Structure 1
Protein backbone atom coordinates (compact mmCIF):
# COMPACT_ATOMS: atom_id res chain seq x y z
CA UNK A 1 0.00 0.00 0.00
CA UNK A 2 1.36 3.42 -0.92
CA UNK A 3 0.91 6.67 0.96
CA UNK A 4 -2.80 7.30 0.59
CA UNK A 5 -5.51 9.18 2.41
CA UNK A 6 -8.63 7.13 2.92
CA UNK A 7 -11.81 8.72 4.20
CA UNK A 8 -14.86 6.85 5.32
CA UNK A 9 -17.63 6.06 7.76
CA UNK A 10 -18.42 3.47 10.40
CA UNK A 11 -20.61 0.70 9.02
CA UNK A 12 -23.24 1.01 6.31
CA UNK A 13 -26.47 -0.15 7.96
CA UNK A 14 -27.84 2.89 9.78
CA UNK A 15 -31.54 3.69 9.46
CA UNK A 16 -31.28 7.54 9.28
CA UNK A 17 -28.98 7.19 6.27
CA UNK A 18 -32.01 6.04 4.28
CA UNK A 19 -33.07 9.70 4.45
CA UNK A 20 -29.70 11.50 4.34
CA UNK A 21 -27.45 9.29 2.22
CA UNK A 22 -28.91 6.41 0.24
CA UNK A 23 -30.93 6.99 -2.93
CA UNK A 24 -34.65 6.57 -2.52
CA UNK A 25 -35.72 3.02 -3.18
CA UNK A 26 -32.25 1.51 -2.92
CA UNK A 27 -32.53 -2.11 -1.77
CA UNK A 28 -30.98 -2.72 1.64
CA UNK A 29 -28.83 -5.51 0.21
CA UNK A 30 -27.15 -2.91 -2.04
CA UNK A 31 -26.30 -0.48 0.78
CA UNK A 32 -22.65 -1.53 1.03
CA UNK A 33 -22.24 -1.49 -2.73
CA UNK A 34 -23.50 2.10 -2.84
CA UNK A 35 -21.64 3.31 0.26
CA UNK A 36 -18.34 1.94 -1.01
CA UNK A 37 -18.80 3.87 -4.24
CA UNK A 38 -19.04 7.15 -2.31
CA UNK A 39 -16.21 6.80 0.24
CA UNK A 40 -12.80 5.15 0.08
CA UNK A 41 -12.95 3.09 3.28
CA UNK A 42 -15.41 1.76 5.83
CA UNK A 43 -14.75 0.80 9.43
CA UNK A 44 -16.63 -2.45 10.15
CA UNK A 45 -18.09 -1.93 13.62
CA UNK A 46 -20.43 -4.92 14.01
CA UNK A 47 -17.47 -7.22 14.63
CA UNK A 48 -16.95 -5.46 17.96
CA UNK A 49 -20.17 -7.02 19.26
CA UNK A 50 -20.05 -10.43 17.57
CA UNK A 51 -17.66 -12.26 15.30
CA UNK A 52 -18.66 -12.39 11.66
CA UNK A 53 -18.29 -15.55 9.57
CA UNK A 54 -15.97 -16.16 6.62
CA UNK A 55 -18.87 -15.93 4.18
CA UNK A 56 -19.75 -12.49 5.55
CA UNK A 57 -16.26 -11.13 4.94
CA UNK A 58 -16.15 -12.70 1.48
CA UNK A 59 -19.51 -11.16 0.59
CA UNK A 60 -18.43 -7.72 1.80
CA UNK A 61 -15.26 -7.91 -0.24
CA UNK A 62 -17.23 -8.93 -3.34
CA UNK A 63 -19.61 -5.97 -3.05
CA UNK A 64 -16.91 -3.30 -2.97
CA UNK A 65 -14.80 -1.89 -5.82
CA UNK A 66 -11.18 -2.71 -6.52
CA UNK A 67 -8.84 -0.77 -4.29
CA UNK A 68 -11.41 -0.34 -1.52
CA UNK A 69 -10.20 -0.92 2.05
CA UNK A 70 -11.99 -1.95 5.23
CA UNK A 71 -10.73 -1.45 8.73
CA UNK A 72 -12.14 -3.97 11.18
CA UNK A 73 -13.02 -3.33 14.81
CA UNK A 74 -11.90 -6.26 16.94
CA UNK A 75 -14.18 -8.13 19.30
CA UNK A 76 -14.88 -6.49 22.65
CA UNK A 77 -14.09 -9.83 24.29
CA UNK A 78 -10.45 -9.16 23.40
CA UNK A 79 -10.26 -5.73 24.97
CA UNK A 80 -12.99 -5.27 27.59
CA UNK A 81 -11.19 -7.24 30.28
CA UNK A 82 -9.24 -6.55 33.43
CA UNK A 83 -6.08 -8.29 32.19
CA UNK A 84 -5.35 -7.64 28.52
CA UNK A 85 -2.49 -10.12 28.55
CA UNK A 86 -5.02 -12.93 29.05
CA UNK A 87 -6.86 -12.19 25.79
CA UNK A 88 -4.92 -14.68 23.68
CA UNK A 89 -7.77 -17.14 23.09
CA UNK A 90 -10.24 -14.35 22.22
CA UNK A 91 -7.75 -12.72 19.86
CA UNK A 92 -7.13 -16.02 18.11
CA UNK A 93 -10.87 -16.64 17.77
CA UNK A 94 -11.39 -13.19 16.28
CA UNK A 95 -8.48 -13.46 13.86
CA UNK A 96 -9.74 -16.87 12.69
CA UNK A 97 -13.31 -15.65 12.12
CA UNK A 98 -12.74 -14.96 8.43
CA UNK A 99 -10.76 -11.73 8.08
CA UNK A 100 -8.56 -13.40 5.49
CA UNK A 101 -11.55 -13.42 3.12
CA UNK A 102 -11.15 -9.66 2.72
CA UNK A 103 -7.83 -10.29 0.96
CA UNK A 104 -6.16 -7.08 -0.17
CA UNK A 105 -9.13 -5.08 1.12
CA UNK A 106 -8.17 -5.72 4.73
CA UNK A 107 -6.82 -2.55 6.29
CA UNK A 108 -6.04 -1.75 9.95
CA UNK A 109 -7.49 -3.74 12.82
CA UNK A 110 -8.89 -1.50 15.55
CA UNK A 111 -8.62 -2.56 19.19
CA UNK A 112 -10.83 -0.35 21.36
CA UNK A 113 -10.24 -0.28 25.11
CA UNK A 114 -12.89 0.42 27.70
CA UNK A 115 -13.00 4.01 29.05
CA UNK A 116 -12.17 2.64 32.51
CA UNK A 117 -9.04 0.79 31.33
CA UNK A 118 -5.96 2.54 32.70
CA UNK A 119 -2.47 2.34 31.24
CA UNK A 120 -0.48 -0.59 32.64
CA UNK A 121 2.82 -0.92 30.80
CA UNK A 122 3.43 -4.59 31.59
CA UNK A 123 -0.11 -5.70 30.81
CA UNK A 124 -0.24 -3.70 27.58
CA UNK A 125 3.13 -5.07 26.48
CA UNK A 126 1.78 -8.58 27.00
CA UNK A 127 -1.28 -7.66 24.93
CA UNK A 128 0.77 -6.22 22.09
CA UNK A 129 2.80 -9.43 21.95
CA UNK A 130 -0.45 -11.34 21.34
CA UNK A 131 -1.33 -9.34 18.23
CA UNK A 132 -0.31 -11.28 15.12
CA UNK A 133 2.09 -9.64 12.70
CA UNK A 134 0.60 -11.45 9.71
CA UNK A 135 -2.55 -13.11 8.52
CA UNK A 136 -1.36 -15.67 6.02
CA UNK A 137 1.08 -13.79 3.83
CA UNK A 138 -0.48 -10.40 4.54
CA UNK A 139 1.27 -8.04 6.94
CA UNK A 140 -1.17 -6.68 9.50
CA UNK A 141 -1.62 -3.19 10.85
CA UNK A 142 -2.95 -2.68 14.37
CA UNK A 143 -4.34 0.48 15.96
CA UNK A 144 -5.27 1.04 19.62
CA UNK A 145 -8.16 3.23 20.70
CA UNK A 146 -7.17 4.39 24.19
CA UNK A 147 -10.03 5.92 26.14
CA UNK A 148 -8.41 6.79 29.47
CA UNK A 149 -6.20 9.84 30.00
CA UNK A 150 -3.53 7.73 31.73
CA UNK A 151 -2.33 6.67 28.26
CA UNK A 152 -1.22 10.22 27.54
CA UNK A 153 2.33 9.65 28.73
CA UNK A 154 5.80 9.00 27.34
CA UNK A 155 5.83 5.41 28.60
CA UNK A 156 2.78 4.54 26.52
CA UNK A 157 4.12 6.31 23.43
CA UNK A 158 7.45 4.48 23.67
CA UNK A 159 5.70 1.13 24.08
CA UNK A 160 3.34 1.68 21.15
CA UNK A 161 6.22 2.79 18.92
CA UNK A 162 8.32 -0.19 19.93
CA UNK A 163 5.53 -2.53 18.82
CA UNK A 164 4.54 -0.33 15.83
CA UNK A 165 0.95 0.03 17.03
CA UNK A 166 -0.87 3.14 15.82
CA UNK A 167 -2.90 5.21 18.27
CA UNK A 168 -6.35 6.60 17.46
CA UNK A 169 -6.63 10.36 17.27
CA UNK A 170 -10.09 11.71 17.98
CA UNK A 171 -11.44 15.25 18.06
CA UNK A 172 -13.99 14.32 20.74
CA UNK A 173 -13.82 16.11 24.10
CA UNK A 174 -15.21 12.94 25.69
CA UNK A 175 -12.02 10.92 25.15
CA UNK A 176 -8.27 11.56 25.32
CA UNK A 177 -7.31 13.56 22.25
CA UNK A 178 -3.65 13.35 21.28
CA UNK A 179 -2.08 13.15 17.85
CA UNK A 180 1.24 11.51 18.67
CA UNK A 181 2.22 9.23 15.77
CA UNK A 182 3.20 5.77 17.02
CA UNK A 183 3.27 3.74 13.78
CA UNK A 184 3.88 4.16 10.06
CA UNK A 185 0.25 5.16 9.48
CA UNK A 186 -2.28 7.52 11.06
CA UNK A 187 -5.79 6.58 12.17
CA UNK A 188 -8.28 9.31 13.07
CA UNK A 189 -11.88 8.99 14.25
CA UNK A 190 -13.71 12.32 14.03
CA UNK A 191 -16.68 12.43 16.39
CA UNK A 192 -17.81 16.04 16.55
CA UNK A 193 -20.22 16.32 13.63
CA UNK A 194 -23.19 18.62 14.22
CA UNK A 195 -26.67 17.78 13.06
CA UNK A 196 -27.58 21.34 12.05
CA UNK A 197 -24.75 21.38 9.48
CA UNK A 198 -25.53 19.46 6.30
CA UNK A 199 -21.97 18.18 6.04
CA UNK A 200 -21.54 17.64 9.79
CA UNK A 201 -18.54 19.97 9.88
CA UNK A 202 -18.33 23.46 8.41
CA UNK A 203 -16.52 23.90 5.11
CA UNK A 204 -13.61 25.77 6.78
CA UNK A 205 -13.27 22.91 9.28
CA UNK A 206 -13.27 20.34 6.48
CA UNK A 207 -10.60 22.29 4.63
CA UNK A 208 -8.46 22.23 7.79
CA UNK A 209 -8.94 18.48 8.10
CA UNK A 210 -7.97 18.06 4.45
CA UNK A 211 -4.78 20.04 5.09
CA UNK A 212 -4.12 18.03 8.26
CA UNK A 213 -4.60 14.73 6.44
CA UNK A 214 -2.17 15.81 3.71
CA UNK A 215 0.39 16.85 6.29
CA UNK A 216 0.13 13.46 7.99
CA UNK A 217 0.43 11.73 4.63
CA UNK A 218 3.54 13.70 3.76
CA UNK A 219 5.23 12.77 7.04
CA UNK A 220 4.49 15.93 8.98
CA UNK A 221 3.09 16.59 12.44
CA UNK A 222 0.29 19.21 12.43
CA UNK A 223 1.07 22.00 14.87
CA UNK A 224 -2.58 22.74 15.65
CA UNK A 225 -3.29 19.34 17.20
CA UNK A 226 -2.70 18.34 20.85
CA UNK A 227 0.15 15.97 21.76
CA UNK A 228 0.96 13.93 24.84
CA UNK A 229 4.68 13.84 24.06
CA UNK A 230 7.13 16.17 22.36
CA UNK A 231 6.29 16.27 18.63
CA UNK A 232 9.04 18.76 17.87
CA UNK A 233 11.67 16.19 18.88
CA UNK A 234 10.16 13.54 16.61
CA UNK A 235 9.97 16.05 13.78
CA UNK A 236 13.75 16.58 13.77
CA UNK A 237 14.05 13.40 11.72
CA UNK A 238 11.97 13.80 8.55
CA UNK A 239 9.35 11.06 8.43
CA UNK A 240 8.52 8.99 5.40
CA UNK A 241 5.10 9.32 3.88
CA UNK A 242 2.27 7.70 5.78
CA UNK A 243 -1.06 6.16 4.94
CA UNK A 244 -3.93 8.02 6.60
CA UNK A 245 -7.27 6.52 7.59
CA UNK A 246 -9.89 9.04 8.65
CA UNK A 247 -13.41 8.07 9.66
CA UNK A 248 -16.42 10.14 10.65
CA UNK A 249 -17.85 8.27 13.63
CA UNK A 250 -20.67 9.13 16.04
CA UNK A 251 -21.43 12.75 16.82
CA UNK A 252 -24.35 13.51 14.53
CA UNK A 253 -23.94 10.17 12.78
CA UNK A 254 -26.64 10.93 10.25
CA UNK A 255 -24.20 13.49 8.78
CA UNK A 256 -21.19 11.14 8.60
CA UNK A 257 -21.51 10.18 4.90
CA UNK A 258 -21.92 13.82 3.84
CA UNK A 259 -18.90 14.79 5.94
CA UNK A 260 -16.79 12.03 4.41
CA UNK A 261 -17.78 12.94 0.86
CA UNK A 262 -17.17 16.63 1.51
CA UNK A 263 -13.71 15.88 2.88
CA UNK A 264 -12.88 13.72 -0.14
CA UNK A 265 -13.95 16.63 -2.35
CA UNK A 266 -11.74 19.01 -0.35
CA UNK A 267 -8.79 16.63 -0.72
CA UNK A 268 -9.31 16.54 -4.47
Structure 2
Protein backbone atom coordinates (compact mmCIF):
# COMPACT_ATOMS: atom_id res chain seq x y z
CA UNK A 1 0.00 0.00 0.00
CA UNK A 2 1.49 3.35 -1.04
CA UNK A 3 2.00 6.15 1.49
CA UNK A 4 -0.56 8.99 1.54
CA UNK A 5 0.63 12.12 -0.23
CA UNK A 6 -0.22 15.80 -0.42
CA UNK A 7 -0.35 17.91 -3.61
CA UNK A 8 2.94 18.78 -5.33
CA UNK A 9 2.82 22.19 -7.01
CA UNK A 10 5.60 23.12 -9.42
CA UNK A 11 6.26 26.36 -11.23
CA UNK A 12 8.55 29.23 -12.09
CA UNK A 13 9.24 32.79 -10.98
CA UNK A 14 6.85 35.21 -12.67
CA UNK A 15 5.42 34.84 -16.15
CA UNK A 16 6.74 37.89 -18.04
CA UNK A 17 10.16 37.24 -19.58
CA UNK A 18 10.94 38.14 -23.18
CA UNK A 19 13.12 35.07 -23.99
CA UNK A 20 10.16 32.79 -23.16
CA UNK A 21 8.24 34.22 -26.13
CA UNK A 22 8.51 31.72 -28.96
CA UNK A 23 10.28 29.24 -26.65
CA UNK A 24 7.69 28.64 -23.92
CA UNK A 25 4.90 30.86 -25.19
CA UNK A 26 3.62 30.27 -28.74
CA UNK A 27 4.54 32.79 -31.39
CA UNK A 28 2.06 35.64 -31.62
CA UNK A 29 0.44 34.88 -28.26
CA UNK A 30 -0.74 38.27 -26.93
CA UNK A 31 1.25 39.28 -23.86
CA UNK A 32 -1.98 39.81 -21.92
CA UNK A 33 -2.68 36.06 -22.26
CA UNK A 34 0.70 34.85 -21.01
CA UNK A 35 -0.47 34.23 -17.45
CA UNK A 36 -3.46 32.27 -18.70
CA UNK A 37 -1.15 30.16 -20.89
CA UNK A 38 1.46 29.60 -18.17
CA UNK A 39 -1.21 28.59 -15.66
CA UNK A 40 -2.42 25.94 -18.11
CA UNK A 41 1.04 24.34 -18.20
CA UNK A 42 2.20 24.83 -14.60
CA UNK A 43 0.57 24.42 -11.19
CA UNK A 44 2.06 27.41 -9.34
CA UNK A 45 3.95 30.65 -9.89
CA UNK A 46 6.10 32.63 -7.47
CA UNK A 47 5.44 36.36 -7.85
CA UNK A 48 8.59 38.44 -7.50
CA UNK A 49 6.95 41.81 -8.18
CA UNK A 50 5.48 41.95 -4.67
CA UNK A 51 9.05 42.02 -3.31
CA UNK A 52 9.80 45.31 -5.06
CA UNK A 53 6.53 47.19 -4.71
CA UNK A 54 2.84 47.13 -3.88
CA UNK A 55 0.23 45.59 -6.14
CA UNK A 56 -3.36 46.75 -6.41
CA UNK A 57 -6.36 44.65 -5.30
CA UNK A 58 -7.49 44.70 -8.93
CA UNK A 59 -4.28 42.97 -9.98
CA UNK A 60 -4.70 40.16 -7.48
CA UNK A 61 -8.32 39.73 -8.56
CA UNK A 62 -7.28 39.63 -12.23
CA UNK A 63 -4.64 36.96 -11.51
CA UNK A 64 -7.26 34.93 -9.69
CA UNK A 65 -9.72 35.12 -12.55
CA UNK A 66 -7.18 34.32 -15.31
CA UNK A 67 -6.02 31.03 -13.76
CA UNK A 68 -7.75 27.67 -13.33
CA UNK A 69 -9.11 26.19 -10.13
CA UNK A 70 -6.33 24.63 -8.09
CA UNK A 71 -3.63 27.00 -9.35
CA UNK A 72 -1.60 28.72 -6.63
CA UNK A 73 0.40 31.95 -6.39
CA UNK A 74 3.26 32.19 -3.91
CA UNK A 75 4.06 35.81 -3.14
CA UNK A 76 7.37 37.36 -2.18
CA UNK A 77 7.02 39.51 0.92
CA UNK A 78 8.15 43.13 0.45
CA UNK A 79 11.85 43.92 0.78
CA UNK A 80 10.90 46.84 3.03
CA UNK A 81 10.02 44.28 5.71
CA UNK A 82 13.14 42.11 5.45
CA UNK A 83 15.95 44.43 4.32
CA UNK A 84 16.30 46.31 7.57
CA UNK A 85 18.68 46.28 10.50
CA UNK A 86 16.01 45.76 13.16
CA UNK A 87 13.44 43.21 12.02
CA UNK A 88 11.25 43.85 15.05
CA UNK A 89 10.40 47.22 13.47
CA UNK A 90 8.91 45.67 10.32
CA UNK A 91 5.33 45.61 11.57
CA UNK A 92 4.18 48.53 9.45
CA UNK A 93 5.59 47.04 6.24
CA UNK A 94 4.06 43.64 6.99
CA UNK A 95 0.67 45.21 7.67
CA UNK A 96 0.78 47.34 4.51
CA UNK A 97 1.51 44.25 2.44
CA UNK A 98 -1.25 42.17 4.00
CA UNK A 99 -3.79 44.94 3.42
CA UNK A 100 -2.76 45.54 -0.22
CA UNK A 101 -5.47 43.25 -1.60
CA UNK A 102 -3.80 39.85 -1.62
CA UNK A 103 -6.98 38.30 -0.17
CA UNK A 104 -8.44 38.78 -3.68
CA UNK A 105 -6.49 35.64 -4.58
CA UNK A 106 -8.78 33.69 -2.22
CA UNK A 107 -7.94 29.95 -2.25
CA UNK A 108 -5.22 30.57 -4.84
CA UNK A 109 -3.00 32.33 -2.29
CA UNK A 110 -0.02 30.12 -1.53
CA UNK A 111 2.80 30.70 0.94
CA UNK A 112 4.37 34.11 1.41
CA UNK A 113 8.13 33.98 0.98
CA UNK A 114 9.99 36.46 3.20
CA UNK A 115 13.42 36.64 1.55
CA UNK A 116 16.46 38.01 3.41
CA UNK A 117 19.70 39.42 2.05
CA UNK A 118 22.75 37.11 2.09
CA UNK A 119 24.37 39.54 4.53
CA UNK A 120 21.57 39.21 7.11
CA UNK A 121 22.84 37.20 10.08
CA UNK A 122 20.80 35.21 12.57
CA UNK A 123 19.97 37.29 15.64
CA UNK A 124 17.70 35.00 17.70
CA UNK A 125 15.79 37.65 19.63
CA UNK A 126 15.24 39.93 16.64
CA UNK A 127 14.34 37.12 14.27
CA UNK A 128 11.77 35.75 16.69
CA UNK A 129 10.33 39.26 16.98
CA UNK A 130 9.89 39.21 13.19
CA UNK A 131 8.17 35.82 13.23
CA UNK A 132 5.72 37.19 15.80
CA UNK A 133 4.67 39.80 13.23
CA UNK A 134 3.43 37.15 10.77
CA UNK A 135 -0.25 36.38 11.40
CA UNK A 136 -1.86 33.00 10.79
CA UNK A 137 -4.74 34.61 8.88
CA UNK A 138 -5.95 37.90 7.42
CA UNK A 139 -9.59 38.82 6.83
CA UNK A 140 -10.52 35.19 7.43
CA UNK A 141 -8.05 33.84 4.84
CA UNK A 142 -5.42 31.44 6.24
CA UNK A 143 -1.83 32.55 5.68
CA UNK A 144 1.29 30.41 5.33
CA UNK A 145 4.74 31.89 5.76
CA UNK A 146 8.19 30.75 4.68
CA UNK A 147 11.55 32.46 5.26
CA UNK A 148 14.39 32.42 2.76
CA UNK A 149 17.55 32.92 4.81
CA UNK A 150 20.86 33.11 2.98
CA UNK A 151 23.59 33.54 5.59
CA UNK A 152 25.44 30.55 7.05
CA UNK A 153 24.65 31.69 10.61
CA UNK A 154 21.11 30.34 10.07
CA UNK A 155 22.44 26.79 9.86
CA UNK A 156 21.74 26.67 13.55
CA UNK A 157 19.49 24.28 15.51
CA UNK A 158 18.11 27.25 17.45
CA UNK A 159 16.85 28.81 14.24
CA UNK A 160 15.28 25.55 13.03
CA UNK A 161 13.60 24.99 16.38
CA UNK A 162 12.25 28.56 16.28
CA UNK A 163 10.83 28.16 12.78
CA UNK A 164 9.25 24.86 13.77
CA UNK A 165 7.69 26.42 16.88
CA UNK A 166 6.03 29.12 14.74
CA UNK A 167 5.11 26.61 11.96
CA UNK A 168 7.02 28.78 9.48
CA UNK A 169 8.69 27.04 6.56
CA UNK A 170 12.35 27.43 5.68
CA UNK A 171 13.13 27.64 1.96
CA UNK A 172 15.07 24.60 0.81
CA UNK A 173 17.69 26.15 -1.45
CA UNK A 174 18.49 23.46 -3.96
CA UNK A 175 21.67 23.38 -6.07
CA UNK A 176 22.59 26.97 -5.23
CA UNK A 177 25.24 28.94 -3.36
CA UNK A 178 22.86 29.56 -0.47
CA UNK A 179 22.97 27.42 2.70
CA UNK A 180 20.91 24.26 2.49
CA UNK A 181 18.67 23.69 5.52
CA UNK A 182 16.65 20.53 4.79
CA UNK A 183 14.71 20.41 8.07
CA UNK A 184 10.92 20.31 7.76
CA UNK A 185 9.49 23.04 9.98
CA UNK A 186 5.98 23.68 8.64
CA UNK A 187 2.96 21.69 7.42
CA UNK A 188 4.20 22.37 3.86
CA UNK A 189 7.55 22.34 2.02
CA UNK A 190 8.91 25.18 -0.12
CA UNK A 191 11.90 24.52 -2.38
CA UNK A 192 13.65 26.77 -4.91
CA UNK A 193 16.02 25.03 -7.32
CA UNK A 194 18.51 27.05 -9.32
CA UNK A 195 20.63 24.74 -11.45
CA UNK A 196 19.13 24.84 -14.94
CA UNK A 197 21.64 24.90 -17.80
CA UNK A 198 21.48 26.11 -21.39
CA UNK A 199 22.83 22.88 -22.87
CA UNK A 200 19.96 20.81 -21.43
CA UNK A 201 16.69 21.18 -23.40
CA UNK A 202 14.72 20.58 -20.18
CA UNK A 203 17.11 22.63 -18.05
CA UNK A 204 18.36 19.55 -16.20
CA UNK A 205 19.59 16.16 -17.32
CA UNK A 206 17.35 13.12 -16.97
CA UNK A 207 18.98 11.87 -13.75
CA UNK A 208 18.67 15.31 -12.13
CA UNK A 209 15.00 15.58 -13.06
CA UNK A 210 14.34 12.15 -11.58
CA UNK A 211 16.18 13.13 -8.38
CA UNK A 212 14.17 16.31 -7.86
CA UNK A 213 10.93 14.49 -8.65
CA UNK A 214 11.81 11.82 -6.08
CA UNK A 215 12.59 14.49 -3.48
CA UNK A 216 9.23 16.16 -4.11
CA UNK A 217 7.50 12.82 -3.59
CA UNK A 218 9.41 12.29 -0.32
CA UNK A 219 8.30 15.70 0.93
CA UNK A 220 4.68 15.09 -0.08
CA UNK A 221 4.77 11.93 2.06
CA UNK A 222 6.06 13.95 5.03
CA UNK A 223 9.63 12.66 4.78
CA UNK A 224 13.00 14.39 4.35
CA UNK A 225 14.95 13.13 1.33
CA UNK A 226 18.02 11.48 2.89
CA UNK A 227 20.46 12.55 0.19
CA UNK A 228 19.92 16.25 0.96
CA UNK A 229 22.17 15.93 4.00
CA UNK A 230 21.77 15.76 7.74
CA UNK A 231 19.04 17.82 9.34
CA UNK A 232 20.00 20.14 12.18
CA UNK A 233 17.32 18.76 14.51
CA UNK A 234 15.65 15.40 14.92
CA UNK A 235 12.98 14.83 12.27
CA UNK A 236 9.59 16.28 13.23
CA UNK A 237 7.30 14.01 15.20
CA UNK A 238 4.59 14.34 12.55
CA UNK A 239 5.04 12.40 9.33
CA UNK A 240 1.77 13.68 7.90
CA UNK A 241 1.76 14.41 4.17
CA UNK A 242 3.00 17.93 3.35
CA UNK A 243 1.92 20.08 0.42
CA UNK A 244 4.97 20.80 -1.71
CA UNK A 245 5.81 24.01 -3.56
CA UNK A 246 8.81 23.65 -5.88
CA UNK A 247 9.94 26.58 -8.01
CA UNK A 248 12.56 26.51 -10.75
CA UNK A 249 14.31 29.85 -10.26
CA UNK A 250 17.47 31.47 -11.66
CA UNK A 251 19.97 29.16 -13.36
CA UNK A 252 19.54 29.47 -17.13
CA UNK A 253 16.15 31.17 -16.94
CA UNK A 254 14.99 30.53 -20.54
CA UNK A 255 14.92 26.78 -19.71
CA UNK A 256 13.00 27.10 -16.43
CA UNK A 257 9.48 26.51 -17.81
CA UNK A 258 10.69 23.35 -19.59
CA UNK A 259 12.25 22.10 -16.35
CA UNK A 260 9.08 22.80 -14.38
CA UNK A 261 6.90 20.99 -16.93
CA UNK A 262 9.28 18.02 -16.96
CA UNK A 263 9.04 17.79 -13.17
CA UNK A 264 5.25 18.04 -13.29
CA UNK A 265 5.19 15.08 -15.69
CA UNK A 266 7.38 13.05 -13.33
CA UNK A 267 5.35 13.76 -10.21
CA UNK A 268 1.85 13.19 -11.52
* SS of equivalent to 2:159: helix
CA distance in 2, matches of 1:89, 1:204: 46
Give aligned pairs, total: 264
CA distance in 2, matches of 1:19, 1:176: 35
1:142-191 Cα shifts (integer Å, max 9, x gaps): 00000101000101001101111000001233211121111111000001
- The residue number in structure 1 matching 2:220 is 217
Alignment of 1:96-107 (within 5 A): 96-107=99-110
1:167-216 Cα shifts (integer Å, max 9, x gaps): 00012332111211111110000011111111111111111111111111
CA distance in 2, matches of 1:150, 1:243: 27
CA distance in 2, matches of 1:7, 1:243: 11
- The residue number in structure 1 matching 2:247 is 247
Q: Does the aligned pair in 1 maintain the 2:88–2:126 contact within 8 Å?
A: yes
Counterpart of 2:152 (choices 149, 153, 173) is 149
What root-mean-square deviation, in Å, do the aligned CA atoms of Structure 1 and Structure 2 show? 1.2
Q: CA deviation at 1:228?
A: 4.7
Counterpart of 2:92 (choices 80, 89, 103) is 89
Q: TM-score, normalised by structure 1?
A: 0.96
- The residue number in structure 2 matching 1:139 is 142
Q: CA deviation at 1:19?
A: 3.0
1:96-149 Cα shifts (integer Å, max 9, x gaps): 111010011001000000110000110011000101110111211000000101
Where in structure 1 are there 5+ consecutive unaligned residues?
A: none
CA distance in 2, matches of 1:214, 1:61: 27
* SS of equivalent to 1:176: coil
Q: Does the aligned pair in 1 maintain the 2:176–2:193 contact within 8 Å?
A: no
2:66 pairs with 1:52: no
Q: CA deviation at 1:20?
A: 1.7
- The residue number in structure 2 matching 1:174 is 177
CA distance in 2, matches of 1:82, 1:55: 33
Moved over 2 A (4+): none
Q: TM-score, normalised by structure 2?
A: 0.96
CA distance in 2, matches of 1:33, 1:55: 16
Q: CA deviation at 1:238?
A: 5.2
